[in-house]
Amino acid sequence: MAILNGTDIKVYDSSAVLVAFAQSASITINMDTRDISNKESGGFAESLEGQRNWEISLDGAYAWTDAAGADLTNGADDLVKKYLLDAGTNTREAFTIKWGNTGSTTGDTVYEGSAFLTSFSATGGTEDTATYSMTFAGTAGITVTTA
């Protein structure tokens, strides 16, 4: 049995650029159910399938420059500015996001879909690493590919 190394799970934007010094990432896929209970259900709830939804969350080190001192173009602040705050161009739009290992190792699974950046928070304690958290809410379907 092969156990996946969590370091291999990464979040990428539509240009296949790794997102912003992420240190942890998660994906959640849900399916709602719809109640079809009736007087013949014998006192038990009965359900059928409903809508599905998904979201990707990540946490990471909050930085404006890379190790060489060059400005980041995929930093947390860049995504927030582009997809939440830039009122001048109204870029509050969905964009493609990928979650998984894109290293093309046989058997690797990648989830991909269109999502909105819906949540951002940053924290910085005295003499501690500044960190951020982001949540992306999927819109429409998600595709799953296996290398």
- Segment 86-144, tens digit of pLDDT: 766 667 888 888 888 766 666 778 889 999 999 999 999 999 999 999 999 999 999 99
- The enclosing H or E element of 118 equals strand 109-123
Q: Is 50 left (phi over 0), alpha (psi -120 to 50) or beta?
A: beta
Q: What share of the chain is helix, strand, coil (3-state, %, to 5)?
A: 10, 50, 40
Question: Does 8-32+45-146 carry CATH code 2.30.110?
Answer: yes
Nearest alpha carbon to residue 96 among 83, 109, 111, 114: 114
- Segment 8-63, tens digit of pLDDT: 777 877 677 777 678 898 999 999 999 999 999 999 999 999 999 999 999 988 88
Sketch the domain layout of the chain as residue ranges.
Answer: 8-32+45-146
